[in-house]
Amino acid sequence: MTDRIALIRDRLTAVFSPTKLDIIDDSHKHAGHAGARHGGHFNVTIVSEVFAGKKPLQRHRLVYDALADAMRGGEIHALSIRAHTPQETFQESAESRSS
């Protein structure tokens, strides 16, 4: 695990107590891109009760807030977020099994 992934994992775990947290470093796909020189490109899938009752934009803002200093500091250049509640994840899983 890279230091950047550990930083993201630590921050999001502290704020959201997620039941699931997957972080993928896609920085290698952006080699040569101006933003790739300093910060990394990451995909985050996070499942937490904190997101209950919140719209997708609100959820993304919460995640960005938790990582704000790392984004301003250049450790994270780009972040793709999938933020769900445990109930949504269960529904997706049940739907995929029934089809």
pLDDT at res. 92: 66
Question: What stretch of H or E contains 82?
Answer: strand 76-84
How confident is the model over 10-37, as a mean pLDDT? 82
In the chain, the domains with their CATH numbers are: 3-98 (3.30.300.90)
pLDDT at res. 64: 97
User: Mind listing the pLDDT tens digit for each residue in 26-53?
Assistant: 886 655 555 555 668 899 999 999 999 9
User: Mind listing the pLDDT tens digit for each residue in 47-79?
Assistant: 999 999 999 999 999 999 999 999 998 889 889
pLDDT at res. 31: 59
Which band of pLDDT confidence, cut at 50, 70 and 90, is reported for residue 98?
A: low
